[in-house]
Structure 1
Amino acid sequence: MIALSLAEIADITGGRPHDIPDPSVRITGPVVIDSRQVEPGSLFAAFAGEQVDGHDYAERAVAAGAAAVLAARPVGVPAVVVPDVEKALGALARAVVGRLGTDVVALTGSAGKTSTKDLIAQVLQTHAPTVWTPGSLNNEIGLPLTALKATEETRHLVLEMGARGIGHINYLTGLTPPRIGLVLNVGTAHIGEFGGREQIAQAKGELVEALPAAADGGIAVLNADDPLVRPMSARTKARTVLFGEAEDADVRATGVRMTPGGQPSFTLHTPTGCGEVTLRLYGEHHVSNALAAAAVAHVLGMSTEEIATALSGAGTLSRWRMEVTERADGVTIVNDAYNANPESMRAALRALAAMGGAARADGGRTWAVLGPMAELGDASLAEHDAVGRLAVRLNVSKLVAVGGREASWLQLGAYNEGSWGEESVLVSDAQAAVDLLRSELRPGDVVLVKASRSIGLERVALALLEREGEVAGR
């Protein structure tokens, strides 16, 4: 973060100094919400959660080197006391970003946000100093924390924006107004909360509505292949740049093909040229993510050759998203258990099927260890049934459905599609899945693990790796 005095922070946040002997003391370290992450000169923001109250850790934070605390009440150590810590954090981010003049790139979508954000960050980092959202910290707290990492040297600030309702993205864009806004897709993630895809589209489109006009440098980067995203061009005054495989896309891919190991390769076309790309990521769905990243890099001035080279060198930055690890015994574990929705589940199954081509040549099998997809509302039964059926259609060798009611729908879908032998099985929990796999896996097998984050199915992948030698990034 740029250095600010405690007096300046109080002025920005509408707070009052408390137990601060010298208001001219400057914050020179990061802003953190976990006292274990404090560095000398930090500002510790104390949030009162359902189980843990950050105010109780204020003294520990200052003892560890924090210059002060951003708090909702006096805490017995130097603090800027504000009416609302979350709003104060947002105000601080808005002020810092406004002073820096950094190019803010914001992205949203129902699926692929984090993977695409990671691609954009890695590509832009080869061009100029870049700060980006770590993991999926894309909400009212995570976004300002990321923005506050920017410094005077930062050229690009890449921010992932999530939404669980109408107005959420509008609020986030008010904290860090973007010049470039990217909308990836409109799917069924959180459809139970939104009520329908049209409502999801309405929420995602708030991003392009917040962009400056084309004359002021605003650029909306939209998915030409998504029928609910392309029309968002009518909701913005910014210049529109389309990406996708459609012939009229400004940034597009041709000749998409898969390597024997399941990694996509294609020819990238931009208005300034073309280049060959082979991704290190697994699954054809990453082609769209890569095109989105390429479109952002293009409008920020990178050449097609630079973009193609950077994309081909980019890897996975965030954990548990198609994280591929090969064990010493030749079993490959694909940990994609961070989250799941119908679109990402189908994409992961197709990636598994592509990887299985090489596996079957070596006598291996493909295993899909799948758990429930949350927040689907009335569509839950149909969506779980459809995923189970798809696993059979893709010729996945073994489906292991983990959990209760929703998992039984996965297994039933597979059964009704034609898997009535030993190809599919329903187990009660993660440990039961681990026990089954440990007894049956053999060299050459490829195991996909995927479910909604709340299920914690990453425990299966981690358990399968903890007792075996492993080689990351197959």
Structure 2
Amino acid sequence: MRSWDAERIAAAAGAGLVTAGGTGAGEGPTRAVIDSRHAGPGDLFIGLIGEHVDGGAYATEVLAAGAWGILVGEEHTEDLPTDGGAILASSDPLRALQDLATAWRRELGAKVIGITGSTGKTSTKDLTAAMVDQQRRVVATPLNLNTEIGLPLTVLSAPADTEVLVLEMAMRGAGQIAELVRIAEPDVGVIVNIGPVHLELLGTIEAIAATKSELIEGLQPGGTAIVPADEPLLQTHLEQLPEGVTTVTFGSGGDVSELPDGLELPFTSAHMRSNALAALAAARAVGVEPTGALAVALSELRGQRRELPGGVVVIDDCYNANPMSMRAALDDLAASASGRRVAVLGDMLELGPDEVRFHEEIGAHARGAGLDLLVTVGPLAAAMGPAFGGETLAVETAADVAPALKPHLRDGDALLVKASRGVGLEVVAQELGAER
């Protein structure tokens, strides 16, 4: 947005321009921020109205810190200094942020790839960005900026020479992905998979499929919908795609069923190779044919392997968990471990009335995967133990894991750590590393 002046920023955001302040003609902000503590020179601060805090209340402090300007609720624009940054007013700062992002996305003229799925969407986003980056200038969703707030911030962070945006799209309920599609206007929509996630909110797996399908149903003519080849839950939604949208399937029996010769991935697990097929289809949809050794920077807490003293390998996959991703992680552990197989598995949340059954099924799957030791964390995960039937330690919290596991851990063990984000298992790898 550096080339946009205050008047154009206001128009794009649908906001009123109270004053252009000291901003020069043709000189716009370098980025948008929503945390007043991080707002400084060159920044446009968007004062969002939160559940407990109204960001617009910090307008004076942000201007004093030298910000390029502020966009806040109208009630926060009175008695502000007019000789500093630009002051923009809106009755709905969140909608203004989103509209500004849409305007910048159109200005870029970049191809936009939207990615969603019940599990693996972050890894698929990372893989897609790595493939496209071989031939195009790419900006991809960082961290977990995949919501109605994070996605527009990602778009607005893109420099003017960006050629492809790779945007992860999260879903908590019906209509959320449709909102993200409205903001980002994707050219390519990727649904990685459909699984029992957020059942507590949506009720049925069919409702989950319908919500994920908001991505592909919102594509414009000329767009590309990329979906698993073996997912019957999407069939009805594929029949409702807008005219002129091309469907590409990936996986066994699909349009993209194998990785090309010469493309080398830094992992061998089956679920990551499936994600790579989805990423390959997305890269091809924007005219990129990746080749050679793929340099993939996977997002934190999503399967990184860390070697501790004594040759203990920790697979740190504790960002989130659901039945589908738990099975995939256990299968990966079974296929890749050369020593004993140990897993620290915590509660999987938001699974609705069948939550105990889902945990019992994971325990049975762990037995079939040849697990040598299972550590369960939390009351729901405790249901895995009887179904597993092997050596089991049951603890209540993440803080209890390292003391309980330490006497049982041996040199050369491979240790999987996985649970829903609310369990907080990220402390396990840190504490074990410190102790060893």
**TM-score band, normalised by shorter chain:** over 0.9
2:422 aligned to 454, 461, 466, which one? 454
What is the distance in 2 between the residues matched to 1:82 and 1:24? 22
1:242 is matched with which residue? 249
2:107 is matched with which residue? 99
What is the distance in 2 between the residues matched to 1:223 and 1:250? 10
What is the distance in 1 between the residues matched to 2:199 and 2:94? 26
1:49 is matched with which residue? 50
Higher mean displacement: 163-172 or 56-65 = 56-65
Which amino acid letter does the alignment assign opposite residue 436 of structure 1?
A: A
* Structure-2 change in CA distance of 1:127 and 1:158 (3 Å): same
What is the distance in 1 between the residues matched to 2:140 and 2:21? 35
Higher mean displacement: 52-61 or 429-438 = 52-61
TM alignment of 1:118-197, pairs within 5 A: 118-197=126-205
Preserved CA contact (<8 Å) 1:282 1:322: no
Preserved CA contact (<8 Å) 1:29 1:39: no
2:360 is matched with which residue? 385
What is the distance in 2 between the residues matched to 1:294 and 1:165? 28
Gaps of 5+ in 1: 254-267, 269-273, 360-364, 469-474
What is the distance in 1 between the residues matched to 2:407 and 2:291? 43
Matched, 1:325 2:306: yes
What is the distance in 1 between the residues matched to 2:40 and 2:283? 33
What is the distance in 2 between the residues matched to 1:407 and 1:184? 26
1:368 aligned to 333, 340, 343, which one? 343
Paired residues, number: 426
* Structure-2 change in CA distance of 1:335 and 1:59 (3 Å): farther
2:282 is matched with which residue? 296
- TM-score normalised over the length of structure 2: 0.92
SS at match of 2:195: coil
Matched, 1:402 2:377: yes
1:66 is matched with which residue? 67
Which amino acid letter does the alignment assign opposite residue 334 of structure 1?
A: I
Preserved CA contact (<8 Å) 1:403 1:429: yes
Gaps of 5+ in 2: none
Matched, 1:85 2:93: yes
1:220 aligned to 212, 221, 225, which one? 225
What is the distance in 2 between the residues matched to 1:324 and 1:182? 27
Preserved CA contact (<8 Å) 1:430 1:460: yes
Which amino acid letter does the alignment assign opposite residue 407 of structure 1?
A: A
Question: What is the CA distance between 1:54 and its match in structure 2?
Answer: 2.7
What is the distance in 2 between the residues matched to 1:169 and 1:331? 40
Preserved CA contact (<8 Å) 2:31 2:44: yes
What is the distance in 2 between the residues matched to 1:195 and 1:398? 33
Q: Give every structure 1 segment of 4 or more consecutive aligned residues whose post-TM-superposition deviation is greater than 4 Å.
A: 22-25
Preserved CA contact (<8 Å) 2:177 2:215: yes
Question: What is the CA distance between 1:278 and its match in structure 2?
Answer: 4.2
1:464 aligned to 412, 420, 432, which one? 432
Preserved CA contact (<8 Å) 1:105 1:179: yes
Which amino acid letter does the alignment assign opposite residue 396 of structure 1?
A: L
Preserved CA contact (<8 Å) 2:16 2:89: yes
For the aligned residues, what is the CA RMSD? 2.0
Preserved CA contact (<8 Å) 1:132 1:157: yes
Which amino acid letter does the alignment assign opposite residue 47 of structure 2?
A: A
Higher mean displacement: 385-394 or 60-69 = 60-69
2:322 aligned to 341, 346, 353, which one? 341
What is the distance in 2 between the residues matched to 1:353 and 1:39? 49
Matched, 1:437 2:411: no
SS at match of 2:152: helix
SS at match of 1:21: coil
After superposition, what is the alpha-carbon deviation per residue over 1:355-413, rounded to whole angstroms, capped at 9, x for unaligned?
22x22xxxxx2211011111100120110110111111111111000112x12212232
Preserved CA contact (<8 Å) 1:30 1:39: no
After superposition, what is the alpha-carbon deviation per residue over 1:316-352, rounded to whole angstroms, capped at 9, x for unaligned?
3311000110013211111111011110111111111
Which amino acid letter does the alignment assign opposite residue 212 of structure 2?
A: K
2:118 is matched with which residue? 110
Which amino acid letter does the alignment assign opposite residue 266 of structure 2?
A: R
SS at match of 2:288: coil
What is the distance in 2 between the residues matched to 1:211 and 1:199? 20
What is the distance in 2 between the residues matched to 1:17 and 1:118? 38
Q: Identity over aligned residues, as a percent?
A: 40
Question: What is the CA distance between 1:193 and its match in structure 2?
Answer: 0.8
After superposition, what is the alpha-carbon deviation per residue over 1:395-437, rounded to whole angstroms, capped at 9, x for unaligned?
1111000112x122122322xxx32xxx112112112111122
Preserved CA contact (<8 Å) 1:224 1:243: yes
What is the distance in 1 between the residues matched to 2:52 and 2:431? 28
Preserved CA contact (<8 Å) 2:309 2:433: no
What is the distance in 1 between the residues matched to 2:11 and 2:286? 34
What is the distance in 1 between the residues matched to 2:291 and 2:364? 36
Which amino acid letter does the alignment assign opposite residue 225 of structure 2?
A: A
What is the distance in 2 between the residues matched to 1:193 and 1:206? 17
* Structure-2 change in CA distance of 1:288 and 1:210 (3 Å): same
Preserved CA contact (<8 Å) 1:325 1:332: yes
SS at match of 1:333: strand
SS at match of 1:55: helix
What is the distance in 2 between the residues matched to 1:230 and 1:2? 44
Question: What is the CA distance between 1:225 and its match in structure 2?
Answer: 2.3
Which amino acid letter does the alignment assign opposite residue 343 of structure 2?
A: A
Which amino acid letter does the alignment assign opposite residue 382 of structure 2?
A: S
Matched, 1:284 2:270: yes
Question: What is the CA distance between 1:93 and its match in structure 2?
Answer: 0.5
Matched, 1:15 2:15: yes
